[in-house]
Chains A and B, each alone.
Chain A
Amino acid sequence: MALQPDGPVELGTGVLNNEHNDMGSDLKVPTMAEMFAAGQRPEVLFWVGCAGSFDDRAKKITKAFVKILNKAKVSFAVLGTEESCTGDPAKRAGNEFLFQMQAVTNIEVMNAYEIKKVVTACPHCFNTIKNEYPGLGGQYEVVHHTQFLKQLLDEGKISMEGGKFKGKRITYHDPCYLGRANQVYEAPRELIQKLDAELIEMRDCRKRGLCCGAGGAQMFKEPEKGDKDVNVERTEQALETKPEIIAAGCPFCNTMMTDGVKNKERETSVAVMDIAELIAGAEDL
């Protein structure tokens, strides 16, 4: 399941009809270096992550999230070229040494910028920075983008009217490193419900959510011999709910579920979308 540099083919479902608006240059994405040089401190660092920076599908999620941040006038910045892999896949593969090298380097950069709060759209980055960086000298308040969006909504900084997703059948796939690993189950679900969409749960959800198959560095290797691939098993569970959209909150889950939907030849009727894309879509951003 190794991801090629050109990334997975994008879905053409027309559910998220904002491609016409997808002008990268519209995005306001300040870097920490720029802000620091101007004597400014953003409220929050947006940790983009490797997938969000390089994977073609995940970049759309990144942009959707930035559009919302821009719309809500959130004071944020990214590290840009100063960001590096958190070390999560190295650690789960057993390379603690490489993990800690990455962690210590990233922590030095973040501490130099006096970062207090971090938001990220990747549950793996979220988990690693939140749980494994403090022991190495990196203490930050870390939130997943679904938690952050929920807060923006609660504070009235974004609204989700327009009813583009009204009545749509959406099933939500719990990313392991967001759900079981960190007990974040409700924020993404509350956001889906705010879209006036019909949230349908899969057979295995929340605490018993079935993995997409990408975690533990599986994303970067071929699976071991078995009867089927984990992402196909999970996609079958998702398709049982007869969804129009499979929502995810993780770029890796997104890739795995997208591949699963293609494997089942359902890509014309079922879209795999990130929560941020749903909200950006509802707002017509």
Chain B
Amino acid sequence: MEYLPNILFVLILVAGIGFFSKNVKRLSRNIKLGREADVSDNGPQRWKNMVRIALGQNKMGVRPVAAFLHVIVYVGFIIINIEVLEIVLDGILGTHRLFAPLGGLYDFLIGSFEVLAALVIAAVVIFWLRRNIIRLRRFTKPEMEGWPKKDGNLILYIELVLMILFLTMNGADYQLQQLGTTHYVQAGSFPVSQFLAPFFDGLSEEGLIAVERTAWWLHIVGILFFLNYLYYSKHLHILLAFPNTYYGSLRPKGQFRNLDAVTREVRLMMDPSADPFAAPAENAPLPEKFGASDVMDLSWVQLLNAYTCTECGRCTSECPANRTGKKLSPRKIMMDTRDRLEEVGRNLEANKGTFVTDDKQLLDHYITREELWACTSCNACVEACPVSIDPLSIIMDMRQYLVMEQSAAPSDLNNMMGNIENNGAPWPFNQMDRLNWVQES
């Protein structure tokens, strides 16, 4: 009987972590549905980017208020995780405040966790106000209606509850320490939770123990719940921001990928010794599809991008098309990609690992042509993303599919391309007139 809580704790811990690893596997399987991408180059630069952009959050500062609040929550969660380590060990071993022998350092740590927890509560409240009362424009765009909005708020509620539980646990603990209750070692400093004393007024020792234990259990169970909520929410960025910034593009933003499959075709066309009537080799692979009409046509980095997106909307608020009322929203491109990828993943699970066509695809069923053609390729969305997501590359891949597989460009663009083909300029001018400007007055 004595070890019942320990056993219960270990069971909950194993279940929580086990379920989470199951979702990590699902996540990794879905991401691997993407095409290959060579990202093995420039290791040192990639590590540097990860440290600067993900760990150092150096792209958040563009919006100072959000950056300040975000850094509080970010630091708060990372630092408070040291405390979670102690809680987990206490739970397994049946100890209480295992790290207490650290003495002065322990006091300092617990004290700083408390201050951070209070700051996190303040930041979370302001975040909530920004989403629900101030209603910042980027949080109220059409793609945020329904689940995305709820999801954003739920995350704030969970964070708020976790912090309140943490402080309640400490507050009750502090009272018990003062009463000299056995098991409650005199350790830690409680700069915030000591002020919770009035709430515990009139509670018996047993009552205090009940409050402390309840808060302690709910806090750790809450953390495990939050860990498992990540996969179902937009909040995966707290983990995926790191690999995503590592694998982010290192090229100048204006450099779009040259398609190797096309290069091979063009070389063949330019090769005077190539036989234009040659039949393809007996077991030649099927020609590669140009561009993307579904998530499997995108690269795995683009799919990782989709899972990393936390729907902050910086991309959309900088997008010239969106700012002038067009349907295109780079954030929606990422949300659609993820939604479709999840749908494909569920399809795989329902059909024992093989994808059974559902007569749907990313193009048209999620992302419309109108959105794709509204893009000016200005890279504002790519620049704005604090975690190196590239919505533009998905737009361009889908345009390639429309033009090269479907011949479905807007007619104005067909005229432009016809002109380039015929006379080497996007307008109908003769190439032989290219130097006429020298003679014109």
Contacts and interface: CB of A to CB of B under 8 A. Distances in A.
Interface of A: 2-3, 5, 22-25, 27, 29, 31, 48, 50, 52-55, 59, 62-63, 78, 80-81, 83-85, 87, 89-98, 100-102, 104, 127, 130-132, 135-136, 176-177, 180-183, 207-208, 210-211, 213-230, 232-234
B108 interface: no
Q: Of B379, B420, B424, which is in contact with the most chain A CB atoms at under 10 Å from its CB?
A: B420
B205 interface: no
Given A181-B379, A224-B321, A23 B441 contact: yes
Contacts of A224: 321, 326-328, 370, 373-374
A202 to B, nearest CB: 13
B259 A96 contact: yes
Given A53-B434, A104-B267, A233-B320, 18 more contacts: A24-B439, A27-B438, A31-B435, A54-B433, A87-B420, A90-B420, A101-B421, A131-B251, A131-B254, A176-B254, A176-B376, A181-B255, A210-B320, A213-B320, A224-B326, A226-B326, A226-B327, A230-B324
B380 A89 contact: no
B200 interface: no
A95 to B, nearest CB: 5
Interface in B373-420: 373-380, 382-384, 396, 398-404, 409-410, 412-413, 415-417, 420
B355 interface: no
B435 A80 contact: yes
Contact of B435 (A81, A101, A223): A81
Nearest to A207: B383
A211 B441 contact: no
Contacts of A228: 324-325
B435 A93 contact: no
Contacts of A181: 252-255, 379
Contacts of B370: 224-225
A53 B437 contact: yes
Contacts of B270: 104
A130 B255 CA distance: 9
A230 B256 CA distance: 23
A22 to B, nearest CB: 6
Contact of A210 (B380, B403, B439): B380
Nearest to B259: A96
16 contacts: A52-B437, A53-B434, A54-B429, A55-B427, A93-B417, A94-B398, A94-B399, A94-B404, A96-B258, A101-B266, A104-B266, A130-B252, A211-B320, A211-B378, A215-B376, A225-B326
A132 B258 contact: yes
Given A94-B399, A94-B403, A222-B412, A53 B253 contact: no
B400 A136 contact: no
B263 interface: yes
A35 to B, nearest CB: 14
Interface string B50-66: 00000000000010000
Interface string B190-203: 00000000000000
B431 interface: yes
A191 to B, nearest CB: 21
Listed from nearest, the 7 A-B pairs whose CB atoms lie closest are A181-B254, A227-B325, A216-B377, A94-B399, A84-B424, A131-B255, A226-B325
Given A97-B265, A229-B324, A3 B417 contact: no
Contact of B321 (A214, A230, A234): A230
Interface in B258-272: 258-259, 262-263, 265-267, 269-270
A181 B290 CA distance: 24
Contacts of A5: 427-429
A139 B273 CA distance: 26
Given A215-B377, A228-B324, A29 B435 contact: yes
Contact of A233 (B262, B323, B410, B436): B323
Given A50-B426, A211-B380, A135 B420 contact: no
Contacts of A230: 320-321, 323-324, 376
Contacts of A98: 417, 420-421
B425 interface: yes
Contacts of A81: 431-435
B45 to A, nearest CB: 15
A48 B383 contact: no
B188 interface: no
Interface string B219-259: 00000000000000000000000000000000111111011
Nearest to B372: A94
A24 B427 contact: no
A62 B438 CA distance: 9
